[in-house]
A and B are shown apart, each in its own frame.
Chain A
């Protein structure tokens, strides 16, 4: 029985790694960041509702500014240099939902129009030091569950904080000391138009902090 328990523990730990597969970083073997002290925080409501209840909203779209604020704290392991990236992943929950569509929670009416695609939602990332990729520009995900958009992903360079010069700061640091380089404000925009079947739809965006 103890042997069985050991193998069960190993199996579970492997399963956890597999489940976190969407947010697993480059996995290049580096372990320069302290995983216990480093963390990502998302402030604001974790459930965001876009309620399209008038023609004007459906035609003109809805923008929710500053709904999510991502804050980063990363720490070096002793005598090492931590380098990280920050990604967004989109997911529709899988299951029977087609890979390119929002998850349908309810359908209104009897029409046969298609469900909205995952590239319908737009995101805009910004911070005071303009460190994100495509800072302050609207971006869309590829219409595929699991698709990603990078926020910070400088593979070649190690950029320490403090300059506030628009470079992708990816070294150890904290929003407590360098707010403008370790904080990211996320805006969301959806403009449905008249194409899609009325209904209630759902998706998930994951903000993933990984060591490089």
Chain B
């Protein structure tokens, strides 16, 4: 037994000695072998996984279509009626009672966006009619050519569906023409030398108003909107015109939208002649 024990011990010692000798000489090689074994094992696992995935893969394939929609904003205002509207005052009764032209202009709206519609009167000289020619000698200093554009009155056939709230005196031109003289400003056109500046909250719109809260939703007179279509809808307005020169011709009805009289002050009166002004109907997208 002691011999055997010693032998084993000697053998063990020898082995340890051998290992010790190897560690010293080939330790690096052994580490590399160990790393290679681990790598091989990992690759085998990975390969197995990939193989399993390949074998069990389901059919999945796809194709894509991209769809782009370009929605362009369209504000379309169709105006029926003459481009030039003549008021010829050649009779005293015309001066006193004025001339009214009914249903001369039809305004038809088609819009893809919420909108406002307003009328603005102006001339090349600003807010007075342009005098093209005078009749007579024109030597009377009281005969003036500065007739305010507010002398023109409008009436629209239906109310503004979503007008400016108070303090607007009149939200639209829907009121009936009153017996002249009338100085309230009820039907007088909104006048501005800068026609593309929208009316203020105290001034008139045909439809809609100043802020984003007052507008008419996108739509058209061509299709039913709220049960109405065509001339019965909020997308169609018929406009009447009236001018009352008065006698003497001071245009007594002329007034700003806030009711301030704009009439000529006697002894001044309008010089006979030819006068022109521009009425612009502006359809504009509702603003934020």
Kindly identify which residue among B49, B70, B112 contacts A194, using a CB–CB cutoff of 8 Å.
B112
Interfacial residues of chain A within 155-212, with CB under 8 A of chain B in the complex: 186, 188, 190, 192-211
Assuming the contacts A40-B63, A113-B113, asked whether A108 and B42 have C-beta atoms less than 8 A apart, the reply is no
Docked complex Cα distance between A209 and B285 (Å): 46
Q: Convert B44-75 into 0s and 1s, putting 1 for each residue whose CB lies closer than 8 angstroms to a CB of A.
A: 00100110010111111111111111111110
Interfacial residues of chain A within 105-122, with CB under 8 A of chain B in the complex: 105, 108-113, 116, 120-121
Across the A-B interface, how many residue pairs have beta carbons closer than 8 Å?
188
Contacts of A193 in B (CB 8 A): 218
Residue A78 interfacial (CB < 8 Å): no
**Contact of B65 with A46 in the complex, beta carbons under 8 Å:** yes
Assuming the contacts A42-B63, A55-B110, A206-B64, asked whether A102 and B58 have C-beta atoms less than 8 A apart, the reply is no
Residue A96 interfacial (CB < 8 Å): no
**Contact of B59 with A34 in the complex, beta carbons under 8 Å:** yes
Interfacial residues of chain A within 70-95, with CB under 8 A of chain B in the complex: 70, 74, 82, 84
Distance (Å) between the CB of A104 and the closest chain B CB? Answer: 10
**Contact of B63 with A207 in the complex, beta carbons under 8 Å:** yes
Contacts of B287 in A (CB 8 A): 110
Docked complex Cα distance between A209 and B61 (Å): 5
Distance (Å) between the CB of B119 and the closest chain A CB? Answer: 22
Kindly identify which residue among A110, A202, A208, A210 contacts B68, using a CB–CB cutoff of 8 Å.
A202
Distance (Å) between the CB of B198 and the closest chain A CB? Answer: 13
Assuming the contacts A25-B59, A48-B66, A188-B67, asked whether A109 and B220 have C-beta atoms less than 8 A apart, the reply is no
**Contact of B219 with A116 in the complex, beta carbons under 8 Å:** no
Kindly identify which residue among A41, A50, A111 contacts B69, using a CB–CB cutoff of 8 Å.
A50
Contacts of A35 in B (CB 8 A): 57-61
Q: Convert A12-50 into 0s and 1s, putting 1 for each residue whose CB lies closer than 8 angstroms to a CB of B.
A: 010000001001110101110111001111100011111
**Contact of A201 with B69 in the complex, beta carbons under 8 Å:** yes
Distance (Å) between the CB of A195 and the closest chain B CB? Answer: 7
Kindly identify which residue among B60, B73, B111, B114 contacts A24, using a CB–CB cutoff of 8 Å.
B60
Assuming the contacts A25-B58, A52-B71, A111-B286, asked whether A70 and B63 have C-beta atoms less than 8 A apart, the reply is yes
Assuming the contacts A55-B76, A116-B71, asked whether A48 and B114 have C-beta atoms less than 8 A apart, the reply is no
Interface of A is mostly: mixed
Contacts of A70 in B (CB 8 A): 63
Distance (Å) between the CB of B212 and the closest chain A CB? Answer: 7
Assuming the contacts A108-B71, A110-B287, asked whether A205 and B65 have C-beta atoms less than 8 A apart, the reply is yes
**Contact of A50 with B59 in the complex, beta carbons under 8 Å:** no
Interfacial residues of chain B within 29-43, with CB under 8 A of chain A in the complex: 38-39, 42-43
Kindly identify which residue among A3, A112, A121 contacts B67, using a CB–CB cutoff of 8 Å.
A121
Most-contacted residue by chain A among B57, B68, B76, B112 (CB, 10 A): B112
**Contact of A51 with B55 in the complex, beta carbons under 8 Å:** no
14 contacts between A and B (CB under 8 A): A6-B42, A20-B60, A40-B63, A49-B68, A51-B70, A53-B70, A108-B72, A113-B218, A116-B71, A120-B69, A121-B67, A194-B111, A204-B65, A208-B62
Q: Beyond the given A201-B69, A203-B67, A210-B59, please list 16 additional residue pairs across the A-B interface where CB-CB is below 8 A.
A: A23-B60, A38-B61, A42-B63, A47-B65, A48-B68, A53-B70, A55-B110, A111-B113, A111-B286, A113-B113, A121-B69, A194-B218, A198-B73, A198-B112, A201-B68, A204-B67
Contact residues of B with A, CB < 8 Å?
38-39, 42-43, 46, 49-50, 53, 55-74, 76, 110-114, 212, 217-220, 222-223, 285-288
Contact residues of A with B, CB < 8 Å?
2-3, 6, 9-10, 13, 20, 23-25, 27, 29-31, 33-35, 38-42, 46-55, 58-59, 68, 70, 74, 82, 84, 102, 105, 108-113, 116, 120-121, 186, 188, 190, 192-211
